[in-house]
Amino acid sequence: MTKVILDNIRFGLTIERLCHEVRESYRNLDDVCFIGVQERGVILAERIVPKIKKLFPKEKITFGKLDISFYRDDFRRRDTPIKVSSTDINFLIEDKNVILIDDVLFTGRTVHAAIAALMDFGRPSKLELMTLVDRRFNRHFPIKSDYSGVVVDALQEEYVKVEWEHLDGIDQVLLFPSKEEKKK
């Protein structure tokens, strides 16, 4: 049985709250940049960044996109070819506070790969993680989210899916009993 973790209204409120948490953490964004992890982290970042701009109306917002395809530890083990996206970071991250954005934090492997990829661009002063969903259990790496929209305690076999209005017709977060159940 599918469970709705965030409905459309709570989804929007959660994104707003994430933006306000950044506002509470930073007085200005002079040394802050936002980087979305391709693909679905970029979708979240593209929702976050315009709202951050409204909270910091006089600030220039620095935003980039990071592809981690060849940094993943499973890219050689897949049955199907890996889908490569573009990286668009046309600014320096050296000595900046980087807020890395992804939709779901589960095992930590994606974030681990993102950190490895990011280090090729320089050494940030600080690296923070923002996620819409934090699946607190089953971490493979000691990684935690600094800004979490919702924390979900789910079993290993359960599957969390973030649906986006422009892709799926509605903004919501769902919990399926298994990945196979999601396909039905």
What are 126-176's pLDDT values in tens digits?
999 999 999 988 899 999 999 999 999 988 899 999 999 999 999 999 999
| Mean pLDDT, residues 110-117 | 95
CA of residue 152 relative to chain centroid, distance: 15
> Domain count of the chain?
1
Listed residue (99, 146, 101) closest to 127, CA to CA: 99
The answer to whether residue 145 is domain-embedded is: yes
Range of the domain at 69: 7-74+83-155
Q: Where residue 99 sits, what CATH number does that domain have?
A: 3.40.50.2020
Coil, helix or strand at residue 159: strand
- DSSP tag of 177: S
Q: Which residue is listed with tokens 């892709």?
A: 167
The answer to whether residue 117 is domain-embedded is: yes
DSSP-derived pairing of the beta strands 126-134 and 97-105: parallel
The answer to whether residue 176 is domain-embedded is: no
In whole angstroms, what is the distance from residue 148 CA to residue 70 CA?
26
Q: Which residue is listed with tokens 């890996």?
A: 82
Is omega for the bond preceding 39 within 30 degrees of 0, making it cis?
yes
What are 32-88's pLDDT values in tens digits?
999 999 989 999 999 999 999 999 999 999 999 999 988 876 655 567 777 788 899
* Phi, psi dihedrals of residue 154, rounded to the nearest 5°: -130, 150
